[in-house]
Amino acid sequence: MKSEKGIDEPVDPYLPQNGNRGYRVSRYELDLTYKVHSNRLTGKATITAVTTEARSRFALDLAANLHVTKVATNGSRNTKWLHRNGKLIVTPAQTVPAGGALVLTVQYGGAPKPIRSVWGEVGWEELSEGALVASQPNGAASWFPCDDHPSSKASYRIAITTDSPYYTVANGALVSKQTRASQTTWVYEQTEPMASYLATIQIGPYERRSLGSGGVPMFAVHPPRLRAPFDVDFGRQPQMMDVFSRLFGPYPFADYTVVVTDDELEIPLEAQGLSIFGANHCTGRRWSERLVAHELAHQWFGNSLTLGQWRDIWLHEGFACYAEWIWSENSGGHSAHQLALQAHQGLSRKPQDLVIADPGPQLMFDDRVYKRGALTLHALRRRLGDDKFFGLLRQWTLAHRHSTVTSEQFTDLATHYTDEPLRRLWDSWLGEKTLPPM
């Protein structure tokens, strides 16, 4: 097949196989059926987009193990398509002009499984009883055809039909639930723009309950046996929400849900409006409260404000790590400065061979990116003082609410909060391999 400019040109050098050019998605409508015990998924995805240029064909990301059965473009089945190497190449019968409406309908099915990557397995994963989806950074294509890059944010309607005993959660508001015989259809509507890797479905033998009447509605979804330890481990989450809303700006979504699976998970997992923890994080001893704060902070830094290129991952993980320290000092624990000194001491003993502003794909989830990103913010806080620093964070989350961000936008905004030049601070903390002194 002749290569068309843009189809094969990487959107992001960190994930050259993911993301596509020639269109901008505004909405995904997913109609899915999942059989838990046989791990069988069938789906129909309707993808509404606008073309950014006239071209003969378009690409979507879709895992090779999911088999495409029908494709239509703007209602026409007179559409050619080829599915190989994780790409679904769609050729409409007629060229769509630049700025034209593009509605792609894809029917597909198969046994979903995680996508193997240098960061481990990501995407749709079977549990002992149920399933979870955790797609960062490139696992969305494991369960639906998409433009799988964080700069591509859209609204979603996710309808999933599955076995009735199971509780099913997806992003956004539950707008309908209908049970017929042994199956239940759950329909969720996510109105705020969302990156594909943050879309999720959680299925399990769960109960759902409200966590009190704070300013932001919060819910717990977990196996009934974990109710008592959950109330200890997540008991201070309402206060956490209050602290973060005061310091970071208003919570950016309608509500917040924590899912705890019946299985153990190596790390908690991030989704828009949701966080997913394993049973091992729910011990009744508050051992994982640092992680509870980290995942909540991602709703601001990562989900509402989403990086446009993966090299800027510190804008997610550095901020969420610093939120752990902020929670500590606002809840009777160590101050952020004490924790910064500890982190700095730890980093000084590790190899200093990566640049936080561009760590490279292999190291973008390295703990050093998290810690040094947090230290960068602490250095900035000490330079600006608390009033200006938290004023900057509130302006940052307000100005870019539900949109895509870059490091340059943050550093540019920070210049408005001081008369002193900040270039040396950014160069030393973000741009150089050697760890600066505190």
Write the pLDDT tens digit of every residue in 312-330: 999 999 999 999 999 999 9
Which one is predicted more confidently, 352 or 8?
Answer: 352
- The predicted pLDDT at position 8 comes to 65
Among residues 128, 133, 117, 436, the alpha carbon closest in space to that of 276 is found at 133
Beta-bridge partner residues of 252: none
Tens of pLDDT, residues 137-188: 999 999 999 999 999 999 999 999 999 999 999 999 999 999 998 999 999 9
Across the range 98-115, mean pLDDT stands at: 98
DSSP element (H, E) containing 289: helix 289-297
- Degrees to nearest 5, angle at CA 257 with 302 and 218: 110
- The predicted pLDDT at position 374 comes to 98
- Domains in the chain and their CATH numbers? 23-202 (2.60.40.1730), 207-299 (3.30.2010.30), 307-430 (1.10.390.10)
- The predicted pLDDT at position 311 comes to 98
Residue 131 and residue 168: Cα distance in Å, rounded? 9
Query: 3-state DSSP call for residue 64?
Result: coil
Tens of pLDDT, residues 179-219: 998 999 999 999 999 999 999 999 999 999 999 778 999 99
DSSP element (H, E) containing 425: helix 423-430
Residue 126 and residue 92: Cα distance in Å, rounded? 35
Task: Tally the C-alpha atoms within 13 A of residue 354's C-alpha that lie toward its C-beta.
Answer: 24
Residue 116 and residue 109: Cα distance in Å, rounded? 19
Tokens, residue 206? 């769960």
Beta-bridge partner residues of 159: 31, 187
Write b or e for each residue in 316-327: b if 16 or more Cβ atoms lie within 10 A of its Cβ, otherwise e.
bbbbbbbbbbbb
Give me the amino acid identity at 143.
W
CB 26 within 8 A of CB 156: no
Beta-bridge partner residues of 437: none
- The predicted pLDDT at position 4 comes to 52
Residue 271 and residue 190: Cα distance in Å, rounded? 12
* Position 363 pLDDT exceeds 60: yes
Q: What average pLDDT does the structure give for the chain? A: 96
